[in-house]
Structure 1
Amino acid sequence: MRQLFAGLCLLLACALARADIVKVRAYDDIIDSGVLKVAMYERFPPYSFIADGEPRGVDVELANALAERLGLKVELLWVTPDETLDDDLRNFIWKGHYLRPNVLADVMMRVPYDREFAYKQNELGELINELVVMFGPYQRERWQSAYDDRRVKALSSVGVLRYHPVGVEVESVPSFYLASVFNGSIAKMLHHYPTAQAAFAAMRAGEVDATMAMRGEIDWLLHEARDSHLRLGENAYPNMGKQAWDLGMAVHESNRQLAYALEGELETLIRDGDVERLYARYGLRYELPELYQAE
């Protein structure tokens, strides 16, 4: 009886172990399926969002263009942001989420193309994202301010915001930065909103005189507003750390063949101007990632 019980426990342990293993699709299996599973953030305009019941955004269109060049169609996996990007990569690229067992994306969009992030270690000196390959930078992003010229004459530096209410997304880099710069003298002027879109809407409604967010968000919001009184501020951010960064894609480390294929098609789309034209359709200025600027 003890031997039988031990045998059953061993079988159960093996079954549970197999249940925890999430299969990463090999490149040939992806091609044979005709489908590329792409993870991207939900409700994140102008990058990825739903409008009139259809997926839209520059990341959505770029993913479709890349997949089409490989003879594939895109299946979207919408990402609800977890506490950190490391969590998002774990949930969608190399382990999966307990609420979505056995579901992984083939590739994830809008991942920092940054060596320091890629080789980040935990307290034991282990690579946090050891099972992830980050590749294919396709956009250079920056911070950007905007203002209403009926209430602010010009915004040549964020120092002007010491005298004007400014709306920012709660717990965002602009929030932390503006609360601390100039010895915290702007902090009393900060108004916090759940999203960058809500902060921009507050500026349009006259609740605040200016706002600050990612350049892509500000460009798109200005494009959609079509209000000549809403203007771009000059990007003068004293004592700010990283003001520009590159964004790319990520795959499981076992799927480098997919990364090479996507990277090759991406380079063609960038060099032919297709990516710049895609961004322009959403009113976004396009800046080449540093990888291409160096060439």
Structure 2
Amino acid sequence: MAAAGAIAVAGALLLTGCGDQRNKHGGGSETASGSTAPLFAKLPKDIQDSKVIKVGSDIAYPPVEFKKDGKTVGIDPDIADALGKELGVKFEFNNGTFDALLTGLRSKRYNIAMSAMTDSKDRQNGVDPKTGKKVTEGVDFVDYFTAGVSIYTKKGDTKGIKTWDDLCGKKIAVQRGTVSHDLAKSESDKCDKAGKGSIGIEAFDTDVEAQTRLKAGGVDAVSSDFPVAAYAVKTAGGGNDFETVGDQVQAAPYGIAVPKGDSQLRDALQAALDAIIKNGAYEKVLKTWGVEAGAVKEAKVNGGS
């Protein structure tokens, strides 16, 4: 969930009507039969046999993926639905906490992880961003969207916060294991070294819990990926609870995570993503959720820094 490289991203992703393109089964895709789908033959045989790709996802991150009327909806499920039509398989979303998704991927509980996950060199290489040491097996990413990190506060009560520097000596809530969490820790170290007081960081399993903490007044701000922050600002309390402060920073790609060594599945997903970009299905999904500004022009593998 967000990115690397401290580049402020100008402009805004306007979140408009959040349509539900999911079918009645929710959390999966109704597709053409596997034998007739254009890219079915590119898939590994075990997936051809099951016609299912098991997806690990933190389904509590609106508008990227969340539950609505018992169904899994959002940007990621709708993109998965379009990919499924090209591949002739159903994408079956399975809920898990964000910081445990890659563990589930490595234990073969899932075939892929798709959950607003930022493609970073650390994740590619299985490196702890804090220590720089390799702690686990890395993954490959098929990049499908671009987003930065935003800060939001209570509406009308920004406490003078416009940038990360303004958070020195204040409290912030984040979702555990995300890039917002990593960024908060690194910015807190900078504050401490500058003698401005460290940032009080409260990490939660879901972004919704972080929002609840801000609403209750337990923290001064929340940080999350821009689409998520914009959606929270637009929808929480009918648009009266929160406001975004400053610009988004650290723009980087979201990637579909695939285990290292599973190059056949990775390449099939890349081909399917290129196909939906070319046939317009990808653009249609992004327009549905009002996030066209995050579109990619081609499917890249491991394009994160």
Q: Same fold (TM over 0.5)?
A: yes
State yes or no: 1:222 paired with 2:233. Answer: yes
Give 1:81 shift: 4.8
Q: Which residue of 2 aligns with 1:10?
A: none
1:136 is aligned to 142
Q: Distance in 1 between matches of 2:91 and 2:265?
A: 14
Counterpart position of 1:250: 257
Given candidates 107, 132, 154, the residue that maps to 1:148 is 154
Whether the aligned pair in 2 keeps the contact of 1:119 and 1:127 (CA below 8 Å) is no
For the Cα contact (< 8 Å) 2:175–2:207, is it kept in 1?
yes
Q: 1:70 aligns with which of 84, 87, 95?
A: 87
- State the AA in 1 paired with 2:110: A
User: Aligned partners of 1:154, 1:276: CA distance in 2, in Å?
Assistant: 37
- Out of 183, 186, 192, the position equivalent to 2:202 is 192
Q: Distance in 1 between matches of 2:188 and 2:135?
A: 33
Q: CA deviation at 1:199?
A: 2.5
Amino acid at match of 2:83: L
Scaled by the length of structure 2, what TM-score is found?
0.63
- 1:144 Cα shift? 0.7
> What is the identity percentage for the equivalent residue pairs of Structure 1 and Structure 2?
21
The one-letter code of the counterpart of 1:42 is: D
Q: Letter of the aligned partner of 1:222 in structure 2?
A: V
Q: Partners in 1 of 2:136 and 2:217 — Cα distance?
A: 44
Counterpart-to-counterpart distance in 1, 2:203 and 2:126: 31
Residues 63-96 of structure 1: per-residue CA shift (max 9 Å, x gap): 12111222222233434456683x333113xxxx
1:156–1:139 Cα change, 3 Å? same
Partner residue in 1 for 2:7:
none
Residue 286 of structure 1: CA displacement? 4.0
Cα separation, 2, equivalents of 1:280 and 1:186: 42
Q: CA deviation at 1:58?
A: 2.0
Q: Judge conservation of contact 1:193–1:199 (CA < 8 Å) in 2.
A: yes
- What's the counterpart of residue 173 of structure 1? 182
2:164 equivalent in structure 1: 158
1:244–1:48: structure 2 CA closer, same or farther, 3 Å change rule?
same
Question: In the alignment, which residue of structure 2 is the partner of 1:259?
Answer: 266
Equivalent in 67, 70, 91 of residue 107 of structure 2: 91
Larger displacement relative to structure 2 (65-74 or 170-179): 170-179
Unaligned runs of 5+ in 2: 1-42
TM-score, normalised via structure 1 length: 0.65
Structure possessing the higher relative contact order (Cα contacts under 8 Å, 6 or more residues apart):
2
Which one-letter code corresponds to 2:104 in the other structure? D
Higher-Rg member (1/2): 1
Matched residues in 2 for 1:120 and 1:162: separation?
A: 30
Report the AA paired with residue 201 of structure 1. T
Q: Which residue of 2 aligns with 1:38?
A: 54
Distance 1:187-1:59 versus aligned 2 partners, 3 A rule: same
CA contact (8 A) 2:149 2:248 kept: no
**8 Å CA contact 2:174, 2:207 repeated in 1:** yes
Q: 2:113 aligns with which of 108, 116, 121?
A: 108
Which secondary structure does the structure 1 equivalent of 2:243 belong to? strand
In structure 1, the partner of 2:294 is 287
Change (3 A) 1:228 1:268: farther
> Which whole-Å deviations, capped at 9, do the CAs of 1:145-189 have from their partners, x for residues lacking one?
01234222764323333476544446722441343233363536x
Distance verdict in 2 for CA 1:75–1:129, change over 3 Å: same
Question: In the alignment, what sits opposite 1:233?
Answer: 245
Unpaired segments ≥5 residues, structure 1: 1-25, 93-103, 238-242
> Secondary structure of the residue that 1:39 maps to in structure 2?
strand
Indicate conservation of the 8 Å contact 2:191/2:197, yes or no: yes
